[in-house]
Structure 1
Amino acid sequence: MEYVYAALLLHKLKQDITEDNITNIIKSAGATPNEVKVKALVAALSEVNIEEALKSAPVAAPSIASPASATPSTETKVEEEKKEEKKEEEALEGLSALFG
């Protein structure tokens, strides 16, 4: 996951997502980078428009009501939010499969 975060940080800072840049970020965080994962990530991202991927990614809003204090209409909303969160988690798992 740290490799994806490094790539997102580079993207946010409008820096090139290169093996050296990813490696430097991982090292600066105090971890030992895995060269194979770095190469795989950079290769996978070379064909991805990160901005479009971020725009199409679902965003979850935190749930305010607890099920114990929920009214019937709120319970339905909570159930729908749980279903949406599950879908989002599945979508993110698909993305993480691309990045190692």
Structure 2
Amino acid sequence: MGVKAVLTAAGVAADEARIKGLIAALDGVNIEEAIKAAAAAPVAVATAPAAAAHAAPAAKAEHKEEDKKAEEESGMAGLGALFG
């Protein structure tokens, strides 16, 4: 069963370009390892806006480091964008 068939069966409009992008992004990715890594990844918790405002300067430095780590991860970069 193809990706398009799965999306159509789920009632989602299948976009051919996004499907091709997904398939290209998954080329060479070990799906089982990616699932294990995603399951082990911590989940971000939403914070109150006031608390976030106080932490903003320190968070900027941490955010830059996290961005660099995220860019370095192979295989998983950009996959989230394919699911909207």
Give the TM-score normalised by structure 2: 0.48
- Pick 1 or 2: higher relative contact order, CA cutoff 8 A, min separation 6: 2
Higher Rg of the two aligned structures? 1
